[in-house]
Amino acid sequence: MNITKDTMIIGPLLGFLGGIIDVVYGTQNFLMILALGTVIGFDWITGTEAVHKDGSYASSYGIKGIKRTLMILYIPFMGHILDLAFHLDGVVTFFNLLAGGLIWHILKSGIANCSRAGWDKWISQNMLDKLSSEIEAKTTRSETRKKEIRGENE
């Protein structure tokens, strides 16, 4: 095994992060948190591309996004605490209900961002039709943000 400088830094860092996830969310919830983190990453990547493409990027919005992400990660933690308080385990738990709902909501947001970014050719028309209200809401919000950036307050 070839141990490099990167391995010596990344290995302990990931080990520490895994330990924090285990303590905060519980061992049994690791895969659901991994799924939530993956969907959050997808939403951030597609959202960043969409705002750069349509010219609605503002640093204040990005800072709010960090706060929003922290709150999104806090909500399943509250579910885990409720599960511990009520001695719940299994499939139907507060944690799974909250994390699952967040995953679905954020996945819809990421797919709508794909459409705004011009990547909609990789998404089925059926999915785009089902998410048309989300896409329309994001487009309207983007137009409002562009007016604010240009100083055209209504």
Is 104 a domain residue? yes
Q: How many domains does the chain have?
A: 1
**Separation between Cα atoms, residue 126 and residue 98, nearest integer Å:** 26
pLDDT single digits (tens) 42-75: 999 999 999 989 888 777 777 888 999 999 999 9
Q: What are phi and psi of 4, to 5 degrees?
A: -105, 175
Is 16 a domain residue? no
pLDDT single digits (tens) 11-51: 888 888 888 888 888 888 899 999 999 999 999 999 999 99
Is 11 a domain residue? no
Residue 47: domain span: 21-150
Is 97 a domain residue? yes
Query: Residue type for 10, please?
Result: I
Q: Encode burial over 84-114: b for 16+ CB neighbours within 10 A, e otherwise.
A: eeeeeeeeebbbbebbbebbeebbbbbbbbb
Find how far residue 6's CA is from the centre of its chain: 27
Is 15 a domain residue? no
Is 145 a domain residue? yes
pTM, two decimals, is: 0.81
Instruction: Indicate the SS3 state at residue 70.
Output: helix
Is 124 a domain residue? yes
Give the pLDDT of residue 27. 82
Is 3 a domain residue? no
Please report, to the nearest 10 degrees, the dihedral formed by the alpha carbons of residues 51, 148, 40, 106 taken in order: -100
pLDDT single digits (tens) 89-147: 888 999 999 999 999 999 999 999 999 999 999 999 999 999 999 999 998 988 888 88
First-to-last alpha carbon distance for the chain, in angstroms, is: 63
Give the tokens for residue 145: 């943000």
